[in-house]
Structure 1
């Protein structure tokens, strides 16, 4: 596919231009970072590996010190204010430092923090809550972890254990982690560009195209997202039904596939949504071919898309296993795998554990986070605020030719930038410049995308309407500046 070749070309180019300490400091001067930030940044480049995420996301990252409790505002060490559209990779959904969370931390810390060799009641309470609020009417059980990567490794291990089959199918553009165990299942731009050739050795991975509607890989001439979905589903069905793709045992005709490991919406790829037919269609194929459906809701979960889980936008879709992390403990490292009881129980004693799995402090904070989400109906809050922000961005699109596409659900929003709407040529350089210019003007955004030409917006649910209005005003200014700087013009 032409799109995939472009990604590989970009990766090879990036490998030739690794970061240097000198370049980061030079960029900090260029973009006018404050004196305290400069002093700390000079220390940072000498003590942290240059592959650390802040150096990847920004040419020169600000040094964040604190945040407001009741809005989407953070401050750097120089006192500069920024509108936060990232929420720490969609971690601080309910806000950066809720008082109720602090109280839950203090209460549990005063008792015991971690003793994972044994069970605890707070751990059992959390498990009981999770099996009651995740999709599926069947009996469920949980496995605890610490990170989203950890949760995905548990899911992969469990699927193979339960089915006795080796192959895991994932989507091109999915992000499931950067550990040596999960890199084979991750094909996001940043992961490939920064990790190649240090890739995992798992050979039993098959990638299928994701119906990236704006750049449909299965049908570039598709007139709608539904048509793109249908084309991609036909391709997947064809792969599953023919033995020469290696997904069926030629002697028995039975599938060799343990599970579909999929993000409902693609997060690290820039918050890309499929059409409405993809998720139900892929789930239907999983039932027809006796394949487990493993839903990575690590970024899309906990009300982010306007429902508690992204798959709940599609009635009847009940994942066999669902992976949860990020915002579940509002900033504390924590993850959970929830799945059909018989699947979870297929792992034998000691088959999976980590030192901090199910630690009491994390469990207590997760319970409090869930309580706040339910009590304040934050799924509805995300839906209403998201609709306002998406509509405002679509209004900007009418007079900003650099915007090629806007999509989203709830406060999970993607913006794609192009040099030309007719050709859809990606505005990669322009997007990188806008990321830094927005930082200068007090807005922090996550640059993402298959081609590095998208913004992924996931502000805390606490973002105020005045802050959203100010965000749109700054976007308007910077988009205009970029169009002038890079000579991007619409139709005359």
Structure 2
């Protein structure tokens, strides 16, 4: 009884440590040189906003963003300008200031914003466009939502409904949402810990390793990324052929698995790109064992990786279901699930509902955003600018021992920091410090990674070359300062 009480107290104390101290946040803001208006607004925000809000987890003191300028520039409450390396979590792919998108929103606003999930012409047009541009030569249909979590919940429900099977397979390190329905599929302790003691339990989840190339979970001695992926694929296939994993009976050939639900590349984990043989290998396993293949393109889609979709890098991979959100409406909340018609039609009317799903204003913004992406060939632009950015970062890696790993596709770039290259000891504290120093020097970045030692870089796809050059200059300066401050050689 005493031991049980001690454990409860320990759990409470550990949870309290996760809660930031408002006074400390303000002290950090002053320490890092926030302007007077930003300090005032931050103080007011701390009076009314829950400390569970995302801004308080991203920075020791979150900036107060007010407006955007042309290119990839964000302006704070004091008029300070920042190079935007987040695009609002890969939301503003076509740029913050797109007059065409604004005009489409205003035009639709003057007609009708929303009406009870009813059909409309703009909604039908968007549906036609989505089934046209998503991967797969088969007939597809659409289901609308508002957020990425919303889209993933629809996918999870419909996969189980269509197959009559309970198990969804996801990857260690995947992020599919924070709602009570999606959090079991998001394998992050920092996310799970905020749900205790009432955990989003879903016994129908099985997790497989993602081939994190720099720290391969399946074979730490793998010589190449492809070898790492091959070993992980062998494990997944092995799980389907042994009864004690509960996925499939190799004798009767019956399976409990409804679908794979995966991020093609891992976003919240720090923009980790899968080895080239990983997605085709997983797709083959799904086909071999009659399992749906569902991809979460919420951050990787909309030209971000140098293709319209991340899976477009792998000819022959045609997902049964694709989930999209974030940049689809360039800032307005909107999401969609696009899948095989027989899957999407397998449940009855009203099986899932959301008051604002498919609302006219969001549909109008999405149609115009897609038009811009296609007309301006932003996938190609992301590829070219991404190559330039990656080359600059790889050059910095040759000069800076703290920067150990650079990977990416298009303008979807992850960088990893270490204390020591031989041991690969993660530079977690150093990365946290660099995040604030970069902010102070005029750059907004997102710290991420399994070990909190990565930066996920996703600027608007319209970022100018000279802005990339300036960002590289700032990175160079901050890496040098971090190496001196933390004695990294």
What residue is the counterpart of 1:363 in the other structure?
363
Q: State the Cα deviation string for residues 456-491 of structure 1 (Å, max 9, x = none).
A: 0000012111111110000000000000110100xx
What residue is the counterpart of 2:44 in the other structure? 43
Deviations 1:232-283 (A, max 9, x none): 0000000011111111247833110000000000000000011100000000
1:69-148 aligned at under 5 Å gives the runs: 69=70, 71-148=71-148
The offset of 1:194, in angstroms, is 3.8
Which residue number corresponds to residue 228 of structure 2? 228
SS of 1:398's partner is helix
Quick one: distance in 1 between partners of 2:274 and 2:469? Answer: 28
User: CA–CA distance in 2 between the matches of 1:468 and 1:136?
Assistant: 35
- Alpha carbons 1:302, 1:308 under 8 Å: kept: yes
TM-aligned CA deviation for residue 51 of structure 1: 1.1
| Cα shift at 1:197 | 4.2
Q: Secondary structure at the match of 2:419?
A: strand
Q: Deviations over 1:130-168 (max 9, x none)?
A: 001100000000000000000000000010000000000
Distance 2:15 2:395 in 1: 34
1:269-304 deviation digits (Å, cap 9, x = unpaired): 000011100000000000001010000000000000
Partner of 1:65, secondary structure, is strand
Q: Secondary structure at the match of 1:248?
A: coil
Q: TM-score, normalised by structure 2?
A: 0.96
The equivalent of 1:241 in structure 2 is 241
The residue correspondences of 1:49-448 to structure 2 (distance < 5 A) are: 49-69=50-70, 71-249=71-249, 252-448=252-448
SS in 2 for 1:303: coil
TM-score (norm: length of structure 1) = 0.95
Cα separation, 2, equivalents of 1:198 and 1:73: 40
Secondary structure of the equivalent of 2:173? coil
Cα contact 1:243–1:253 (8 A) shared by 2: no
Q: Which runs of 5+ in 2 are unaligned?
A: 1-12
Q: Is the contact between residue 415 and residue 456 of structure 2 (CA under 8 Å) also seen in structure 1? A: yes
Task: Quote the Cα distance in structure 2 between the aligned partners of 1:438 and 1:385.
Answer: 21
- Residue segments in structure 1 that go unaligned for 5+ positions in a row: 1-11
CA-based RMSD:
1.2
Q: What corresponds to 2:9 in structure 1? A: none
How many Å apart are 1:22 and its aligned residue? 1.3
Q: Is the 8 A contact 2:241 2:249 kept in 1?
A: no
| Corresponding position of 2:471 | 471
Deviation at 1:196, TM superposition (A): 4.3
**In structure 2, what is the Cα distance between the partners aligned to 1:98 and 1:51?**
32
Q: How far off its partner does 1:226 sit?
A: 0.3
Q: Is 1:29–2:6 an aligned residue pair? A: no
Alpha-carbon shift at residue 198 of structure 1 (Å): 4.1
- In 1, the alpha carbon distance for the partners of 2:19 and 2:430 equals 20
Shift of the alpha carbon at 1:190? 3.6
Looking at structure 2, the residues matched to 286 and 330 of structure 1 have their Cα atoms a distance apart, in angstroms, of 33
How far apart, in 2, do the equivalents of 1:221 and 1:196 lie? 36
Q: What per-residue deviation string (whole Å, max 9, x for no partner) do you get for residues 48-75 of structure 1?
A: 1111111100010110011113x11111
Corresponding position of 1:9: none
Displacement of 1:86 in angstroms is 0.1
Residues 15/392 of structure 1: CA separation in 2 closer, same or farther (3 Å cut): farther
8 Å CA contact 2:248–2:254 kept in 1: the answer is yes
C-alpha contact (below 8 Å) 2:407/2:414 kept by paired residues = yes
